[in-house]
Structure 1
Amino acid sequence: MIQPDPLHLEKVLHTPVRRIRPYRNNWCIETDFMWWIAKPVPGSKAKWWHQVDSELRNRGFHSMLPMITDGYQWILTPFIQGQSCKYNKMSEVKRMVKTLAHFHRVGRNLRTPPPEAAFLLSHRLVNRLQKFHRLLLSADQVKSPLRELLLKTGKDFYLDGIEAWKRLEKLPFQDWIERERSHHVLAHRDLASHNWMTDQTGALWLIDFETADYDAQVGDVWQMSTRILAANQYPERGIETILRAYEMVRPLAGIEKKILAALFLYPNEFFREMIGLVERKRGYEIKVSYPYLKQIACNRKKWKKQIAEFMYW
């Protein structure tokens, strides 16, 4: 991990830097007046996000931390005293969903030109499905207890993924994604619960925009919904509760609902967690992810029943 140069940061922040220390895979920058979090970001993406950030604020979205960038390597945001949100707290969920909808509503038809070629929603789905298929073919080589779970349930989840993709192919899915990108429609694309924070005053913040790009916003709705539902073990009428909260702020188009119905069948959480554990990716721990995988597997039939109900909602 490359450490920022203190002299360089002093020029960016216009104040002396007293200390630089690692903090959650980034850097905490201490000055006389406040602390900052410094994140390495490619220059083109840093400039792009700085312009998008300004547009969103001018349009009335302020649930993002103020940012400073040197324009080619670092993005700095204030360090806030607070805590990450939890998707298993339904009292917090509606507030987060409404904030996402506000982010989406103002993040349409932006003036800022797109950054470099993006890894769009359709590409991400195919890539993860292919990765999981390769994992399934080599399941005998996976260490226990993941091997047993993969051999027992992996094929069913893979077939769910194939069926979801077939349904998407029958829709103008790729056309919709390309339309969203061409109209400069903004998506966050990394809506893990730890990318939501509340500070000591109770203010809610959406953070970590390094993966943001012009892409289909329905992908954000799907990604966040599936994480919320899995964290709460697929509560009855859970899909309806989430989408009604979202549509109070930003109504979904008819084609987006059809795409969602197909996307919900795609077992993204199971794929992501299993791949993350087997490939030993940073942030995936067996003691946390394995029970989560077992829970998803146990609730598969319950989830598929809810998907069928959503198709008629």
Structure 2
Amino acid sequence: MEEWISRSLAKEYGIEAKRIERFRHLWKVHSKNGVYVVKSFPNAVSLVYWQTYLFDELRKKGFFQFSPILRSKYGSPWFGAKSYPFVVMPYLDGKTAHFSKFDHLKKVIGVLASFHHHAAWIGEEVKPKYREIRTFRLFRRLQEFGDLYQKLMAKKERDALDEEILMIGQEMLSFGKEAFQKIDQYKINRINQEAIDYRFVAHRDVANHNFLLGEKVWMIDFDLSGYETHVMDVWQLINRVMVEWNWDLDIFLKVERTYNDYRKLSDDERMILRQFSLYPNEFFRECLGAYYRPDKYKREHVLPYIQRFRQKFDAYDSFRKRILKA
């Protein structure tokens, strides 16, 4: 594969590779012209065109904190077969952000808010893949966890992860159901429809590994990007931050204020943040991932994550009881 990539880069991009190595799920290419990464998009050439278009639009608007997809000598944003395209991007030098460090968080919030400022009224020449409204996905996740919980209850030989989930699984199911009683469906549907109408693009995967800190702060991996209200990115970020900070309400408010300093949140957005924070999304996601997507969610990593919910359950429960009044 490396040899084929080397030949393709020389032929289509004029990049003479000195060394190619595996890099996470990508290839890292060292050349006299610089360092690049090559990424594959199996059966997703439409996603390549969407990201290329989105990046062009963002650059026109003045946002540059990402790695653009390079075009070949022939003007194409990809090489290889249409059923299995590859893209070339400049390598970004930086360390993965840690949400447990507030100085890192502040930089992440700043670049996210800047992205949101520029990722609006995007052109219509290329459109992203349709993404179902977040509440539909969360309701399905609640149902899937309920099914998993029943399977674990019936399981005769259980491992450590099974036992951890069963210890607090029933409470988490109750929390998930309660959250849907609190979430203002009309309000979230309305502002999400506005996001679609005005072509607001959310990143939709604001995990810490998608932010690199170096001389600049970089955002990477826009594979899930699409039309959605920006506050869902903020909610997703806060969800992950809360686990790292043991559901410290003061940190929630500090993150919210920091984002608000860059980009004002409306009263509706602030309420949506609180209502959605009642839903134990990270718990459900990690549990389901360990059983149904073991290639991505390794059990040895999921177990300590789930243990944190049990060990800090009182803090989590207290956070849920106080968040709507904060």
TM-score for the superposition, normalised by structure 1: 0.90
Deviation string, structure 1 residues 253-287 (Cα, Å, up to 9, x no partner)? 22222221111011111111111222352342333
Give the conservation status (yes or no) of the 8 Å contact 2:29–2:36.
yes
Describe how 1:75-154 pairs up with structure 2 within 5 A. 75-112=87-124, 113-140=126-153, 141=155, 143-154=158-169
User: What letter corresponds to residue 272 of structure 2 in structure 1?
Assistant: I
SS in 1 for 2:183: helix
1:63 aligns with 2:76: no
SS in 1 for 2:38: strand
Which residue of 2 is the match for residue 185 of structure 1? Answer: 200
Deviation string, structure 1 residues 42-68 (Cα, Å, up to 9, x no partner)? 222211211211221222222212331
In 2, distance between residues paired with 1:228 and 1:80?
24
Which residue of 2 is the match for residue 25 of structure 1? Answer: 25
Q: CA deviation at 1:3?
A: 9.2
Change (3 A) 1:236 1:125: closer
Change (3 A) 1:2 1:294: farther
User: What letter corresponds to residue 112 of structure 2 in structure 1?
Assistant: L
1:259 aligns with 2:262: no
1:210 aligns with 2:223: yes
In 2, distance between residues paired with 1:243 and 1:235?
13
In 2, distance between residues paired with 1:102 and 1:308?
32
Q: Provide the alpha-carbon RMSD of the alignment.
A: 2.3
Q: Please list every run of 5 or more consecutive structure 1 residues that lacks an aligned counterpart in the other structure.
A: none
SS in 2 for 1:39: strand
Deviation string, structure 1 residues 14-64 (Cα, Å, up to 9, x no partner)? 222344432211222333322211112322221121121122122222221
Q: Please list every run of 5 or more consecutive structure 2 residues that lacks an aligned counterpart in the other structure.
A: 79-84
Of 46-55 and 17-26, more deviation after overlay is shown by 17-26
User: What letter corresponds to residue 236 of structure 2 in structure 1?
Assistant: Q
Deviation string, structure 1 residues 229-254 (Cα, Å, up to 9, x no partner)? 21121234111100000011111122
Change (3 A) 1:246 1:34: same
In 2, distance between residues paired with 1:4 and 1:167?
54
In 2, distance between residues paired with 1:267 and 1:223?
11
In 1, distance between residues paired with 2:3 and 2:212?
25
Give the conservation status (yes or no) of the 8 Å contact 2:249–2:323.
no
Q: CA deviation at 1:5?
A: 4.0
Q: CA deviation at 1:228?
A: 1.0
1:271 aligns with 2:273: no
User: What letter corresponds to residue 89 of structure 1 in structure 2?
Assistant: K
Give the conservation status (yes or no) of the 8 Å contact 1:110–1:184.
yes
SS in 1 for 2:56: helix
Describe how 1:44-55 pairs up with structure 2 within 5 A. 44-55=46-57
Match of 2:177 among 162, 167, 170: 162
SS in 2 for 1:237: helix
SS in 2 for 1:68: coil
In 1, distance between residues paired with 2:270 and 2:110?
17
TM-score for the superposition, normalised by structure 2: 0.87
- Give the length in aligned residue pairs: 311
Match of 2:212 among 188, 192, 197: 197
Give the conservation status (yes or no) of the 8 Å contact 1:114–1:184.
no
